């Protein structure tokens, strides 16, 4: 390096150092508070931090001019001198500036946005590590292992067949309105679960296959679909709750069903009412608890809760709650969807056209069947369809 180069470089460092020291002095002078200190008597609000009337930019001269939060003063002039000194001994080291920026302390900002005075929110890093570490790892394993376990069970037990021959006499299991609500819930749930999986895990399994452009577009579309489908799901679970709560109230025979695991493993017969204990657990834990948690946190993430303040911490907490409840509900739903489709012969029929064969009713919900036969519950609750025969025929029958 020639002498000229060294001189130019040294002068560059000096100018950069001086500018940085000046910037530091301005930044610190405008900072209302500092390192270890008690919290302000009243928490800093938007009005405090963003409004020049309540939080004026402070003059450079005198450096510590006004202590608006009544916190212990610090010797900013000395800090500025130290930073000036540091620029000579460690050119380019602007650690004090970043310590200040990274202190969660609200500084002055003319932007009207909430928390605009906080450039970096420290908890954001903790949230990022938890979301991209704990949740994606454990949640990822859960949504992979549960379907695999169900497939293994299917390979072992196969579809649970009807043991007695069909009678051809049909009983109405779901009215058309109940089916519309059930399908709305099922379709919106499937959209939410699939799009949610892409938002949460997609970069690990789709990005390497699709590449950034395609994956970016796909996630963008699915994210908006998710955000719009969420409120539909909320309405569906509220209506479903009203429709089905009566038949999901706990009864004494539920205990027998739980103790014998519904006869799923042994293949033995366990009598139950319109809904068995397994279905009731899904109703209360899946639909009510997880449905409500997902809806409440989803509405916050959608920013559609009237009168709510959406701070960064609010969104981080809502996101963590939402993602944990989502993976748990997806895992639970796998069992429910399995039993309603390939797991049990005749169950999907009830969802498709609302009717089940009397043999099915007697085999799977004997107490309900007996009540219908005894006239305690009507066998047909809705107006029968015009082509009632067609609705009651088995799939594939002419």
- Name all contacts of 380-383 with Cβ < 8 Å and 24+ positions apart: 380/172, 381/172, 381/175, 382/172, 382/175, 382/176, 382/177, 382/354
- Sign of the dihedral defined by the CA atoms of residues 9, 10, 14, 20, in that order: positive
* Nearest Cα residue to 353 out of 396, 386, 393, 309: 393
Q: Which of 150, 281, 330, 372 binds ligand HEM (CB under 6 A)?
A: 330
* Nearest Cα residue to 190 out of 322, 329, 319, 285: 329
* Nearest Cα residue to 252 out of 218, 277, 219, 287: 277
Token pair of 47, please?
């009005």
Q: Which of 33, 200, 277, 324 binds ligand HEM (CB under 6 A)?
A: 200
**Contact criterion met (CB below 8 Å) for 368 and 375:** no
Task: Check binding of 222 to ligand HEM (CB under 6 A).
Answer: no
Q: Which of 80, 150, 294, 334 binds ligand HEM (CB under 6 A)?
A: 294
Return the range that interacts with ligand HEM (CB under 6 A); candidates 87-95, 161-169, 193-201, 241-249: 193-201
Question: Given the complex with ligand HEM, which of 276 and 319 has the nearer CB atom?
Answer: 319
Task: Check binding of 182 to ligand HEM (CB under 6 A).
Answer: no
Return the range that interacts with ligand HEM (CB under 6 A); candidates 43-51, 58-66, 306-314, 324-332: 324-332
Task: Check binding of 335 to ligand HEM (CB under 6 A).
Answer: no
Shortest CB 217 distance to ligand HEM, Å: 15
Task: Check binding of 312 to ligand HEM (CB under 6 A).
Answer: no
Query: Would you give the binding string for ligand HEM spanning residues 241-280, x where CB under 6 A is met?
Result: ----------------------------------------
Shortest CB 348 distance to ligand HEM, Å: 21
Task: Check binding of 298 to ligand HEM (CB under 6 A).
Answer: yes
- Name all contacts of 322-325 with Cβ < 8 Å and 24+ positions apart: 322/293, 322/294, 322/297, 322/298, 323/131, 323/135, 323/139, 323/200, 324/135, 324/139, 325/290, 325/293, 325/294, 325/297
Task: Check binding of 319 to ligand HEM (CB under 6 A).
Answer: yes
Q: Which of 13, 74, 114, 131 binds ligand HEM (CB under 6 A)?
A: 131
Main-chain phi, psi angles of 344, to 5 degrees: -140, 125
Question: Given the complex with ligand HEM, which of 160 and 328 has the nearer CB atom?
Answer: 328
Shortest CB 154 distance to ligand HEM, Å: 23
**Contact criterion met (CB below 8 Å) for 285 and 332:** yes
In 10 A of CB 61, how many CB atoms? 7
Return the range that interacts with ligand HEM (CB under 6 A); candidates 39-47, 164-172, 274-282, 295-303: 295-303
**SS3 category, 170:** strand
- Interacting residues with ligand HEM (CB under 6 A): 131, 189, 192-193, 196, 199-200, 223, 226-227, 230-231, 233-234, 294-295, 298-299, 301-302, 319, 322-323, 326, 329-330
């Amino acid at each position: 390096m020639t002498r000229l180069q060294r001189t130019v470089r040294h002068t560059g460092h000096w100018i950069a150092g001086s500018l940085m020291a000046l910037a530091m002095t301005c930044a610190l002078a405008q900072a209302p508070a500092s390192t270890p200190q008690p919290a302000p008597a009243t928490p800093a609000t938007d009005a405090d931090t963003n409004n020049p009337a309540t939080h004026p930019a402070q003059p450079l001269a005198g450096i510590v001019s006004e202590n608006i939060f009544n916190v212990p003063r610090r010797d900013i002039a000395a800090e500025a001198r130290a930073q000036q000194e540091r620029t000579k001994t460690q050119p380019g080291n602007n650690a004090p500036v970043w310590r200040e920026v990274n202190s969660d302390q609200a500084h002055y900002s003319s932007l009207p946005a909430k928390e605009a005075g906080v450039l970096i929110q420290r908890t954001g890093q903790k949230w990022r590590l938890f979301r991209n570490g704990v949740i994606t790892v454990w949640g990822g394993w859960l949504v992979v292992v549960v379907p695999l376990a169900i497939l293994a069970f299917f390979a072992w037990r196969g579809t649970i067949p009807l043991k007695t021959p069909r009678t051809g006499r049909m009983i109405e299991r779901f009215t058309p309105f109940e089916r519309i609500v059930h399908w709305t819930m099922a379709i919106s749930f499937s959209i939410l679960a699939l799009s949610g999986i892409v938002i949460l895990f997609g970069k690990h399994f789709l990005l390497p296959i699709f590449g950034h452009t395609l994956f970016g577009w796909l996630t963008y579309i699915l994210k908006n679909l998710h955000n719009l489908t969420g409120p539909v799901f909320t309405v569906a679970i509220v209506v479903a709750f009203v429709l089905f709560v009566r038949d999901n109230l706990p009864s004494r025979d539920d205990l027998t069903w739980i103790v014998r695991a519904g006869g799923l493993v042994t293949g033995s017969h366990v009598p139950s009412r319109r809904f068995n204990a397994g279905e009731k657990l899904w109703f209360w834990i899946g639909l009510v608890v997880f449905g409500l948690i997902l809806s409440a946190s989803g509405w916050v993430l959608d920013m559609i809760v009237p009168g709510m303040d959406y701070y960064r911490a609010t969104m981080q907490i809502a996101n963590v709650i939402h993602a944990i409840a989502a993976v748990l509900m997806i895992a639970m739903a796998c069992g429910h969807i399995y039993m309603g489709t390939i797991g049990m012969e005749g169950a999907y029929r009830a969802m498709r056209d609302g009717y089940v064969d009397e043999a099915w009713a007697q085999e799977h919900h004997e107490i309900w069947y007996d009540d219908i036969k005894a006239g305690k519950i009507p066998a047909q609750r809705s107006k029968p369809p015009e082509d009632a025969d067609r609705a009651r025929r088995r799939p594939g029958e002419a």
